[in-house]
Structure 1
Amino acid sequence: MRWPRRDRVRVVLRRLYRAEVPEARRFRYALLGLDLVSIGWIVTASFLPLSTPVLAVDVGLGLVLLAEFAARVGASARPWRSLTQPLELADLLGILSLLLAPLLHGGLGFLRVLRTLRLLHSVRLITSLRSDLPFFRQNEEAALAAAQLGVFIFVMTGVVFETQHRGNPHITNYSDALYFTVTTLTTTGFGDITLQGPLGRLLSVVIMLAGVTLFLRLAQTLFRPNKVRFSCPDCGLQRHEPDAVHCKACGILLNIPDEGEG
């Protein structure tokens, strides 16, 4: 019996988004590339005057991202339920801000930074990285902590830029906002750029508190002894020393595979 066309399309989409076959992994790497291109354009556009070509690129990029969003939702087992997920809603708002740019004349552009949240939650991509790149597999926690810090910096830079560039003469593009964000979250605080108004002060507090927390987490993953991810067959402990012979929690004999000598 032949499946309806819609069901066949969903099967193909699920394979691309979830399967661990080479073509599916290449597809997800391409999606990461698309995300990076969209983020790069958001940064680049902050240096350009609002013009017809800039708005045209916004709309074109928005259409591509909308098509990918529709494909991702179509690959879900429960499409309508997936639309209620916070990350999916954030992604959709970011896409709409691009599509509506000509009508809004660049307004609500800060919503575009919400697309960066996808970079933290692409579980299948993380699985592909773990299996494809030994370096990532050995340093997974540090890599994820660095990614979280990087995404936080970019998102807060976008929020600072969009809330300040219209009224703060010291913040005219993303580089100014990035400079302020980094000096604030590192508590350096040179003071040559400050945020204006109660909202600006609140943003500064959030950047400092969250930035210190993320820096501490990254430092912990960098300086504590490296461990491997291997589930103990008896107690389920996930993290062990690379040369562990017995589980330190229950004492059962382990058989942790190594990378071998190549």
Structure 2
Amino acid sequence: MKLIDRLRALYRGDDEETRRFHLALAAFDLATIIFLIASSFYQGSPAVEAMDAVIGVAILIELAARIAASRSPRREFFSPFTIADVIVVASLLAPILGEGFAFLRILRLLRLLNAYKLFRKTRPAGGYFARNDRTIVAATHLAIFLFVSTAVVYESQRRINDQIANYVDAFYYTVTTLTTTGYGDITLKGHAGRLLAAALMIIGVSLFLRLIHAALRPNKVEFKCPDCGLKDHDIDAVHCKTCGRILNIEDEGAV
């Protein structure tokens, strides 16, 4: 079997081997995310920069394989997830390219988008994650915004604001701002800082309310009806409520 055929089987198949492959990719992404969060507290360390380069090359190889296996390589190359991966790779290789690219570190956590995309391909159609898909997606978006905003606050304030001495200070400020707690013990400096604080409150509160809405709304299962295409169904649905087709939604044995 040619390499390209093997890649297509792994990325686009529907057998157990494909499932294990996507789970392995998701595990790699999650491990990468944990490292990226931890490494933000040790910027400039030679060991961290070496690991950045290794992870960056690994993601680049996976990205090339994904594009090669795609039915439409051009479309895959310009997809949001591919663009996010390119930005992540650039940020990981920033120490090699020079300090002028260091600002790209704030976009590292966009890798979360790809991690959950891969995970969605491996989950059972009617399992826990399928029933709570909207809540998980909303929580993922909020987490991305939280950590990226923390990095923006740190990068923009650390040289001009002695109240932002490290990522912990920036994280604390971001959380208290987007939850509108606002203790006032840390404030951002300058007009740009005030505009950033306003953006954190507006966007952060919107994402937080979206998460609450997703968590409190009745649970639905995402399962595309083969006839009419309706995706949202009740957890215990037997027939599609639009066209009446029997759905046969997988579950975990619950009635």
Code of the residue aligned with 1:46 in structure 2: it is S
State how far apart, in whole Å, the 1-side matches of 2:245 and 2:72 are: 42
* Counterpart secondary structure, 2:123: helix
1:28 aligns with 2:22: yes
Contact map agreement 2:23 2:119 (CA 8 A) in 1: yes
2:160 equivalent in structure 1: 167
Give the structure-2-normalised TM-score.
0.83
Q: Deviations over 1:191-224 (max 9, x none)?
A: 1122222222222122111111111211112112
Match among 26, 36, 42 for residue 42 of structure 1: 36
State how far apart, in whole Å, the 1-side matches of 2:97 and 2:210 are: 42
1:52 equivalent in structure 2: 46
* Counterpart secondary structure, 2:218: coil
Contact map agreement 1:42 1:112 (CA 8 A) in 2: no
Superposed CA RMSD in Å reads 2.9
Give the structure-1-normalised TM-score.
0.81
* Counterpart secondary structure, 2:165: coil
Match among 60, 64, 82 for residue 70 of structure 1: 64
State how far apart, in whole Å, the 2-side matches of 1:52 and 1:18 are: 38
Alignment gaps of 5+ in structure 2: none
1:148 equivalent in structure 2: 141
Q: 1:233 to 1:93 in 2, by over 3 A?
A: closer
1:14 equivalent in structure 2: 8
User: Which runs of structure 1 show a deviation greater than 4 angstroms over 4 or more consecutive aligned residues?
Assistant: 230-236, 243-250, 252-258
Contact map agreement 1:46 1:173 (CA 8 A) in 2: no
State how far apart, in whole Å, the 1-side matches of 2:199 and 2:186 are: 16
Relative contact order (alpha carbons < 8 A, sep ≥ 6): 1 or 2 greater? Answer: 2
Aligned pairs for 1:92-111 within 5 A? 92-105=86-99, 107-111=100-104
State how far apart, in whole Å, the 1-side matches of 2:225 and 2:183 are: 49
1:185 equivalent in structure 2: 178
Q: Deviation of residue 188 (structure 1)?
A: 0.8
Name the % identity.
Answer: 46
State how far apart, in whole Å, the 1-side matches of 2:245 and 2:14 are: 30
Contact map agreement 1:94 1:113 (CA 8 A) in 2: no
* Counterpart secondary structure, 1:108: helix
How many residues matched? 253
Q: Which moved more, 1:174-183 or 1:120-129?
A: 120-129
Q: Deviations over 1:2-25 (max 9, x none)?
A: x8xxxx222222222232222222
Q: Deviation of residue 235 (structure 1)?
A: 5.3
State how far apart, in whole Å, the 1-side matches of 2:98 and 2:44 are: 11
Q: 1:203 to 1:30 in 2, by over 3 A?
A: farther
Contact map agreement 1:117 1:151 (CA 8 A) in 2: yes
State how far apart, in whole Å, the 2-side matches of 1:191 and 1:156 are: 18
Code of the residue aligned with 1:141 in structure 2: it is R
Q: Which moved more, 1:201-210 or 1:169-178?
A: 169-178
Code of the residue aligned with 1:83 in structure 2: it is F
1:79 aligns with 2:73: yes
State how far apart, in whole Å, the 2-side matches of 1:96 and 1:17 are: 24
Alignment gaps of 5+ in structure 1: none
Q: 1:15 to 1:156 in 2, by over 3 A?
A: farther
2:192 equivalent in structure 1: 199
